Amino acid sequence: REKNVERVARMLVANLGPGFKVVVEKSTVPVRTSETLAKIFAANATADHTVEVLSNPEFLAEGTAIRDLFEPDRVLIGGRETPDGQRAVERLSWLYEHWVPKDRIITTNLWSSELSKLAANAFLAQRVSSINALSAICEAVGADCAEVCVALGTDKRIGSRFLQPSVGFGGSCFQKDILNVVYLCY
């Protein structure tokens, strides 16, 4: 995957016109991917253009992706803490402000943005795993898991989302992101 990112970055920088450019990483990527991109852009830069890399991870859920895009809980934009980095953050924020309330746009540094996406997926995966474990306990002791979930969901600290037992979490995102967080711990 890293080779693909490097290849695309080299292709982008080779085809840039003059002026200030902003490259936005949208995917869930390993922390510090933006640093790799910035190094490639800097190494291949010409005097007539400047490139800033932003992290803008998507928080889209399967089945609600379009709604999540138009009515997001939050928009996260990470940029370098330099004048050009902040200029790039302001430009992307301005675009989102056309449909997202300003108080839902969170700006951070690059690493916080990249890590926030991984952490969100790790928390959600842990929540799914926990409710599945609780479901097994309910079966063992004769409790009704649906009733326990309602009781848990009324606790404001917990909330009612992601409290439905299932066979586990599907897709590759949660597993990949959990492994990425584990890797960072080492």
Tokens 């902040």 found at? 86
Q: How far apart are CA 127 and CA 80, in angstroms?
A: 32
CB 166 within 8 A of CB 132: yes
DSSP 120-171: HHHHHHHHHHHHHHHHHHHHHHT--HHHHHHHHHTSTTT-STT----S---S
Q: Which of 6, 21, 35, 58 is catalytic?
A: 58
Please give the distance of CA 134 from its chain centroid, rounded to a whole number: 28
* Alpha-carbon gap, residue 94 to 84, rounded angstroms: 15
Tokens of 5: 């990112």
Q: Is residue 173 annotated as part of the catalytic site, yes or no? A: yes
Q: H/E element holding 152?
A: helix 145-153
**Has 149 been annotated as catalytic?**
no
Between CA 14 and CA 16 the distance in angstroms is: 6
Of the listed 25, 114, 117, 149, which one is catalytic?
A: 117
Residues that are catalytic: 58, 117, 173
